[in-house]
Amino acid sequence: MDFMNVMNERFAAKSFSDEKISKENLDKVIEFGRLSPSSLGLEPWKFVVVSNQELKDKLVPACFGQTQVGQASEVVIILNNRKNFAEGSTFLADTFNARLPEDIAKKMIPTYQGFLDNMDVSQKDDWSKRQCFIAAANMMTGAKSLGIDSCPMEGFVEDKVLEVLDVDSKEFGVAMVIPFGFADKPGYPKTRFPVEQVVEFK
């Protein structure tokens, strides 16, 4: 589909049919997320793809009973990485050293490490989750270009989602839960505020 058509036709699907996403298209959706930009290029995310019906059903009560989680072909939980940005972590330096010329890395590491060190745990969590939202948007828009519907969800109890996934909360948080599949009914016509209300040219 043309990109503008994709943007106009994408909607938050509240219920899904039994149709399954092909392995080929599921891999593409994950790649849309993996290839997304992130602050400092540090990719502070992990994508957990849940296809197992028993696990999907367990996620429903952790998501305030939202049934689309259990109905979807797959549910992607985007986790924000906490362990790589904890105090004392060498992740930033290791990543810069691996990806950049030595002289550039040497100059950049102190500045950007200082940027992270000046944030407390809560601020780092907020920062890393904002990066995950970029990946989430690309995954949902890219999925729609393949005819796949989705529903962005921040309505969940983080600790309960991590418990279902058997993930240590010291290592990861939960940025977003996204059911992917094929909506069993069309979405409402898209409505947005007019350009004049949300855009200012200077």
For position 90, what pLDDT does the model report?
97
What would the pLDDT profile of 13-59 be if each residue is shown by its tens digit?
999 999 999 999 999 999 999 999 999 999 999 999 999 999 999 99
Looking at residue 57, which CATH number applies to its domain? 3.40.109.10
Using CA atoms, how far apart are residues 45 and 179, in angstroms rounded to an integer?
Answer: 17
Structure tokens at 175: 């940025």
Residue span of the structural domain in which 19 resides: 3-86+128-186
Other C-beta atoms closer than 10 Å to the C-beta of 135 total: 26
Query: What confidence score (pLDDT) does residue 189 get?
Result: 87
Give per-residue pLDDT as tens, 141-197. Answer: 999 999 999 999 999 999 999 999 999 999 999 999 999 999 999 988 899 999 999
In a domain, 192, yes or no: no
Residue 120 lies in a domain: no
Contact by Cβ (8 Å): 128, 139: no
Could you tell me if residue 105 is inside a domain?
no
Question: Is 99 domain-assigned?
Answer: no
CB neighbours of residue 188 within 10 Å: 7
Q: Is residue 170, in this structure, part of any structural domain at all?
A: yes
Provide the domain count of the chain. 1
Smallest Cα–Cα separation from 30: which of 19, 40, 21? 21
Residue 113 has pLDDT above 90, yes or no: yes
